A and B are shown apart, each in its own frame.
Chain A
């Protein structure tokens, strides 16, 4: 890209023509104040705070809206001089600040943004506190309703329109807009409709002032009181990077952390707002079922009951199921314990997915999340990324906005915020190449296939998987090794919804009967002992006379039907490794301690193993991790997505199993209600309210 020289504050730099002057100034190390400008949104240029001096220009220039290519050199050929400091710039910005503050209320002491407010911070630098010359009344604006997550105090709005641009461009839900004009301009949704996006919470982060704040977090805390812990989200399988803000024993809020490869700087509403569920419905002491009722017990009593039962159960009548939120350490510990006991049936696929451990690329999102932006054709099979991974969906939308991306869907039609060609029942047609979209995939340079949980959970899921692998191999979705510049393109992607799933498959937590087989066996009296590690998402109410141990954090379906309840830690209360659907291993960190007598899950399993006489060979988390890495070496490579460049043709021929598709079988919805997919979310009042407004409300509207 052509570039040109600039002299910024006396320092000569070479900037690309495509950059804005603001970016060029930042390259030179200058700090430019701004309200409306945001790297991930289109340029609006309406706050004027980023004014700089272009020596020779008649007026100060808004650096965010001026491109480097428009800055011509001086008449004598020397590079243009830009000043970001000095009296001239200072005076200009002070003038802008004075105008911004004319109508901004002086309610910082009661404003939730206080302490992390751009306007507050920049007013410290550019405010003219010494005098004021506006003696008229300040403007007052009615507050707007934007749903259960975003609280509005619109008098504070400075009309930067970041939220409008976010809703339109990133979230793809053009619900927000600016009505009226001049002093009467207002940000609003269309006639007080809730802002119906799974990413709506991000406008709170974007708002540079306190106009849009978090409704559930309102008046809870000041930012400087909070203990900040960098961790990983487990509400979906994307592994979004989060910061957990806690005070005392309570997690008060969750914020996104920047990670360009995974979530950029967005997180979903569930990741952000399900945290109030961490304080409700908690299991804080062991329980044992006595005469039909769960009674509080001590750890020793609970372990003794489990040990007595294990002693009288034959190993082939034992089963264990791993839930969706488990970290890799406890999956490893449970597997080791169950192996030591000889338990015959292990499963981690609560949704009934037909994926099997083995070749890692067969169950990973091989193209990587950032790789989505390179794709030029995407085939969705039985997946709804908007609910299954909202931040990934924003990435697909970004790729679609960026250019020539064709997206087709096999499965129920849903609004994914970008146009999708509905192919109907075309899987077999694509597999034998007769369907027109097969040619589109072949013609594409970087075609991609995303196989969702709804496809894999069908009874013929293994055949669907085989067929998808065949489509991928035939249409160049899995390119030959080293075909592309980066060392091969592999667009075969499996989308998971459970944060624990990839780690559990990596560790081979699949043996004997699957979950449906376990439930069936329990009903028929063929399974006598069942260990649930936070597993609530399958039919736990119909386990016959089997003895059920539930280890987990919340009193959800699993605990209600258990005979022994062992209280564990939620994801914010333990250090743990999580592999996201790309296979990228990341470390979550403890922000608070588990409540009451609850313990970290691996430690519970370690203590139980001692009572059962099968002591696990690790006493610390570090030793456990060493054992984990010995099993699966990639758990030592934190933060890296595996590179599966190119393809091992033999491996792909072996994925899934041969078989005809069930005639007329439809792809259903993997998730019935986005806001209520796990025990933490179901315990959250905020998520319940979101479900009522967005999911039940939408159904009601559709019914009308």
Chain B
């Protein structure tokens, strides 16, 4: 984490878009009267959604809306690293470099960003389309390495894939978010390796453990936890159709 200061380039003014009016009202109304300053994070986030980053006029406007000293808003804006204090490109590329992603090659993703966007993070690319930054874990370790563009995750990347992804964005396309190596969400690469036995799903195991089906079981008996449930702390999920 580095020193967080307001950007030297500041816009002349800031105003929330009129359509944000009701949302601001809703956020402020969440807190008792006199405690409206509690909505400062929500408003900073809303402002950042609108402009992409938090500027000095925005801080002052929020201070006025919430009747709090500007310095208090500045404190919050500089405390939370997810508020961007520098202008960002049209597409903000957030590269996860926390341990799991790093082990899976996030260095290559970072190198691709350096090559295609700007050599330094928090810098808008020459064409204004991108800026990139390193972030802490985004919670998609199972698809590491990954990055976030806008609100979408792009996963299972490597150097060339990242470059292709950025090229696509540069051309104005919006590639499909999600895993970048063809798999579905976080399924194993190349298809399932375990739990492949069809009997898991056609009720075969269920009949065996219950000693020939549960047709005769009463309601009360069906609801009583089995010994196995006690051992495992959770009942075995019945495959579809197991009851018949």
Q: Which residues from chain A sit less than 8 Å from chain B, CB to CB?
A: 174-182, 184, 188-191
Contact = CB atoms under 8 A, between A and B. Distances in A.
Contact of A179 (B1, B69, B75): B75
Contacts of B79: 179-181
Interface stretch (B2-10, B122-130, B162-170): B2-10
B2 A177 contact: no
Contact of A177 (B3, B6, B74): B74
A190 B74 contact: yes
Contacts of A182: 1
Nearest to A175: B71
Contact of A184 (B4, B6, B74): B4
A178 B75 contact: yes
Interface in B59-101: 69-72, 74-75, 78-79
B116 interface: no
A190 B71 contact: yes
A196 to B, nearest CB: 12
Given A178-B75, A181-B79, A191 B69 contact: no
Interface string B1-39: 111101000000000000000000000000000000000
B2 A184 contact: yes
Chain B CB count within 10 A is highest, among A174, A175, A191, for A191
A181 B78 CA distance: 8
Contacts of A189: 71
Contacts of B3: 180, 184
8 contacts: A174-B69, A174-B71, A177-B69, A177-B74, A177-B75, A179-B75, A181-B1, A184-B2
Number of contact residues on B: which range applies? 10 to 19
Given A179-B78, A180-B78, A181-B79, A191 B72 contact: no
B109 to A, nearest CB: 26
B56 A174 contact: no
Chain A CB count within 10 A is highest, among B70, B72, B78, for B78
A529 to B, nearest CB: 56
A176 B1 CA distance: 23
A191 B6 contact: yes
User: Which DSSP category, helix, strand, loop or mixed, fits chain B's interface?
Assistant: helix
Nearest to B59: A190
B4 A190 contact: no
Given A176-B71, A177-B74, A181-B1, 6 more contacts: A177-B71, A179-B74, A179-B75, A190-B69, A191-B70, A191-B74
A179 B4 contact: yes
A238 B69 CA distance: 30
A177 B56 contact: no
Nearest to A179: B78
A79 to B, nearest CB: 38
A177 B1 contact: no
A175 B69 CA distance: 8
B122 to A, nearest CB: 15
Give 10 closest A-B pairs by Cβ, nearest first: A177-B71, A174-B69, A179-B78, A190-B71, A177-B75, A190-B70, A180-B78, A181-B79, A184-B3, A180-B4
Given A179-B78, A180-B78, A181-B79, A174 B72 contact: yes
Interface in B207-234: none
Given A174-B71, A177-B71, A177-B72, A191 B56 contact: yes
Nearest to A186: B3
Contacts of A177: 69, 71-72, 74-75
A181 B4 CA distance: 9
Nearest to A182: B1
A180 B1 CA distance: 10
A184 B1 contact: yes
Chain B CB count within 10 A is highest, among A175, A177, A178, for A177
A203 to B, nearest CB: 15
Contacts of B69: 174-175, 177, 190
Contacts of B2: 184
A190 B2 CA distance: 20
A22 to B, nearest CB: 26
Contacts of A181: 1, 78-79
B187 to A, nearest CB: 39
A179 B56 CA distance: 14
A660 to B, nearest CB: 41
Contacts of A178: 75
Nearest to B75: A177
Chain A CB count within 10 A is highest, among B1, B69, B71, for B71
A184 B2 CA distance: 7
A564 B2 CA distance: 67
A191 B72 CA distance: 12
A188 B6 CA distance: 13
Interface in B95-125: none
Contacts of A188: 71
Contacts of B72: 174, 177
A592 B14 CA distance: 57
Contacts of A191: 6, 56, 70, 74
Contacts of A184: 1-4
A61 B79 CA distance: 27
Contacts of B78: 179-181
Nearest to B68: A174
Chain B CB count within 10 A is highest, among A175, A179, A184, for A179
A5 B70 CA distance: 45
Contacts of B6: 191
